[in-house]
Structure 1
Amino acid sequence: MTDSNLNNLFQNLPDKISEELITILAENSHVRIERIVSTGHANKKGFWYDQEEHEWVIVLKGEAELVFEAGQSIVMQPGDHQLIPAHQKHRVEWTTDKEPTVWLAVYYQAK
């Protein structure tokens, strides 16, 4: 049996893109799930995400470094995941340009 609604997170990955590719996979008023594709992308120095929502993120393919305003940084490889509480300032320091980095991000309301 085939399902015409079946999708694959690794389908149609671009080799090079000028901006990150963000695709909303599912959402409602409480949660949003996104696939993010990066190819050598980074946030500008001095820029910080300061989000109203909690974010749980996992790297499925590729490699990236997250930096937090408090000074810590983590290099993420496939399978590595991180919970980023609402208002914890952070940015993407780099993503590899050797292959697309595929992230799965789940955003949900802070209580």
Structure 2
Amino acid sequence: MMTAAGNILEHVRRDAADEEFMELVAAEGVRIERIVSTGQASPPGFWYDQEWSEWVLLLSGSAGLLFEGEPTPRELKRGDYLLIPAGGRHRVEWTDATEPTIWLAVHYGLLSCSE
């Protein structure tokens, strides 16, 4: 049996030009990843529209997540979590530019581990 260990809060770059994605676990139907945002947002007009559900938890920082049809973004701060159902069109309106926003994302209902 293989084990994996680490610290999700280590090796966080504060000056990255792009969001950083690190896969922590991948198994049939599920993927867990750490996402680090440093002021990034979804491109104008871009909407995520995933065929799987995603549960996110903010470990640090803050972010604004907008769902299609809602008038204003939902503000997430450290400790907040949110379930994004499959097909729930959403976008990241903003992430904290003064400190890294660290997300723990659990994707489930995947057809394969490569999604």
Q: TM-score, normalised by structure 1?
A: 0.91
Deviates more, 1:70-79 or 1:14-23: 70-79
Q: What amino acid sits opposite 1:98 in the alignment? A: T
1:71, distance to aligned residue in structure 2 (A): 1.5
Counterpart residue number, 2:39: 40
Stretches of structure 1 that go unaligned for 5 or more consecutive residues are none
Aligned to 2:12: 13
Aligned counterpart, 1:50 = 49
Within 1, Cα distance between the matches of 2:41 and 2:5? 31
User: AA paired with 1:15?
Assistant: R
Q: Which residue in the other structure is 1:82 paired with?
A: 82
| Secondary structure of 2:47's aligned partner | coil
Q: Per the alignment, in what secondary structure is the counterpart of residue 44 of structure 1?
A: coil
Secondary structure of the 2:49 match is coil
Counterpart Cα distance in 2 of 1:67 and 1:5 = 34
**Partner residue, 2:26:** 27
2:100 aligns with: 100
Give distance in 2, aligned partners of 1:5 and 1:67: 34
Ranges in structure 2 where 5+ consecutive residues have no aligned partner: 111-115
Q: What value does the CA root-mean-square deviation take over the aligned residues?
A: 1.4
Change (3 A) 1:5 1:106: closer
Shift of 1:18: 1.2
Query: Counterpart of 2:58?
Result: 59
TM-score by length of 2: 0.88
Cα distance, 1:7 vs structure 2: 0.6
Instruction: Give the aligned length.
Output: 107
1:58 and 1:83 map into 2 onto residues whose CA distance is: 9
Q: Which runs of 4+ in 1 moved over 3 A?
A: none
